[in-house]
Amino acid sequence: LTPVKVMDTLCRLMLPELPQTIDPRRLARKGAVISGQYAVYEMSRLCEILQDHSGQIIFRLEFRQDVENKQCLIIGEIEAGLKTICQRCLYSMDFNIASKVYLGVISDPVDVANLPEGCEALLEGEDPISLPAVIEDELILAMPFSFMHEDSECHASTKSYGINSAARNNPFAVLKELKQNRATNRRK
Ligand SMILES: [Zn+2]
């Protein structure tokens, strides 16, 4: 057991158990709200993206019924404190994600057109909807394309900048390097 897992277990003991699957239409009729948290290590697809699996995710989802349009909406937010490796310096980096959730539950893909503006479709199939999968999908969509420290925080930033600027300021250094490369190639 890692300290993160111990903390996670303790938090869980204090919070009501989260359902594994949800029936959004039933929850919307009751005007239910589900909030809770997950640990990153519980989400396998998220773990594939992140090198460090010690992060935490908290979320709050409101299930609403739009009586006029007979639609079931899920509105809420997800916040995550995550860790991974900076792609530039390969040191650990922390990053936070805060993402709004705005989903409309549909059972036929054609109904996408009827959803309110800015609302993403959550397609209901024959299988029940998995709550952790909904949270994981939303987080993956909110992920940045690449992970890098800010310039001022990156361990590689001064070093790589130093090399590049030296070469840029001294064209003869580049020329010398080219000549050396050619000489080594000829020798091969
Ligand atoms: Zn870095």
If DSSP codes are grouped into helix, strand and coil, which group holds residue 168?
helix
Q: How far is the CA of 40 from the centre of ligand 1 (A)?
A: 22
Q: How far is the CA of 48 from the centre of ligand 1 (A)?
A: 20
Closest CA to 130 of 15, 19, 12, 31: 19
Question: 131-161: per-residue pLDDT in tens?
Answer: 999 999 999 999 988 999 999 999 986 654 5
Per-residue model confidence as pLDDT tens digits over 76-126: 999 999 999 999 999 999 999 999 999 999 999 999 999 999 999 999 988
Cα(83) to ligand 1 centroid in Å equals 12
37, two tokens: 């948290």
3-state secondary structure (DSSP) of residue 95: strand
| CA 80–ligand 1 middle distance (angstroms) | 20
Q: Ligand 1 centroid to 84 CA: how many Å?
A: 10
Distance 93 CA to ligand 1 centre (A): 7
Using the 8-state DSSP alphabet, how is residue 180 labeled? H
Distance 154 CA to ligand 1 centre (A): 4
d(CA 148, CA 97) in angstroms, rounded, equals 14
| C-alpha 155 to ligand 1 mean position (Å) | 5
Quick one: which H or E segment has residue 64? Answer: strand 52-66
Q: Dihedrals φ, ψ of 47, to 5°? A: -60, -30
Under the banding of pLDDT at 50, 70 and 90, the label for residue 163 is very low
